[in-house]
Structure 1
Amino acid sequence: MQVFIVAFMLAGCAAAGPQFRGLPATTVTVDGSTFDVRVRDNRAEAIRTNAEYAPRFGPIRARAGKAMALVSGCEVKEVRGDQAQAIGILKCGKRSRHVPMQPLALDCVPVRGTEVAQLGGSRIEISCDPAL
C-alpha cells in the first residue's frame, strides 16, 4: 500500500497546475535547471523537473523567468511560486501571440579540455549551433 501511495505522489510531480492542464509542455534547460513550461494567455507556468540539492527560490526564480520568456517570446513581468513550480505574468504587447516553440535541430561538439571527473562518470561541456 505504501509503495502505491509513493508512486502516485511521484507521478504528480511534473503535472500541470489547474490553469494549465491539457496544454503541451515545452522542456527548457536554463543554467542547469530543467523546466516544463506551459503558456496560456498572459500567464506561464514553469515546473522544475530536475533534481537539485537545496535550491533557493531566488536563483530558480530567475531561471524559470528566462525559461518562460524563451518559450512564450514575451517579457516576464513577475514570477511567483516556489522552487518546484513557478507562475509568471507575461507582457506580450498587442501584436505578440504565443506560438509554441518548434524543436530545434542542433549540431553539438565537446569542448576540448573541459572534461571533469565526477563520482560515477565524468562531465564535459558541449558547444551547440543550429543545424543547417
Structure 2
Amino acid sequence: MSRQPAAMRAMLLLLPVLLAACDTAGRGYMGLPAARVEAGGHVFDIRVRGAEAEAVRRNAALLPGFGDVARAAESAIEQATGCDVTQVTGDASVVRAALDCPEDQVSHFSMNTLDPFFW
C-alpha cells in the first residue's frame, strides 16, 4: 500500500495555509488596517504602528532586487503616511521602515483602507 495519496492530500490541504502566509502582516502588525499603494512598479499593503511602518509586496516579480523593492516601498510608505522614511530593513517581500514624524501626524487610512473581512 502506497503512502503517496495520503501525502498528496496533506500537501494540498497545507497549500492554502502556506500561500495565505505570503501576504500576511508581520508580527506586531496583524489586525492593523492596511492601505494598498502602488509605487515603482510594485503594489504594497502598508501598515503603520507608531513611528514604524511595514510594506508587504503584493505583486509577483521575477527575482526582484532588494534595492529596487526598498526604494519603491519607501515611496509607498511616504505616500501612505505623509511621513519621511529614515531607515529601511527587510527583504524583497516585506520591508519595515522607521518614520520621521510625530505619531499624531501619521495620516489615517480612509478610502484606501483594506478591510480584512471583505477579502
Cα-to-partner distance string for 1:26-77 (whole Å, 9 max, x where unaligned): 0001021000000010000000010011100000000001111111110000
Residue 12 of structure 1 and its aligned partner are, at CA, apart by 1.1
Give aligned pairs, total: 103
In the alignment, the residues of structure 2 paired with residue 13 and residue 100 of structure 1 have an alpha-carbon distance, to the nearest angstrom, of: 25
What TM-score comes out, normalization by structure 2 length? 0.81
Within the alignment, does 1:23 sit opposite 2:32 as a pair? yes
1:1-132 equivalence runs, <5 A: 1-93=10-102, 96-103=104-111
Q: Among the aligned pairs, what percent are the same residue?
A: 34
Higher strand share: 1
What TM-score comes out, normalization by structure 1 length? 0.73
- Consecutive unaligned residues in structure 1, runs of 5 or more: 105-132
Which structure exhibits the higher relative contact order, with contacts defined as CA atoms closer than 8 Å and separated by 6 or more residues? 2
Q: What is the CA RMSD across the aligned residues, in angstroms?
A: 1.5
Higher helix share: 2
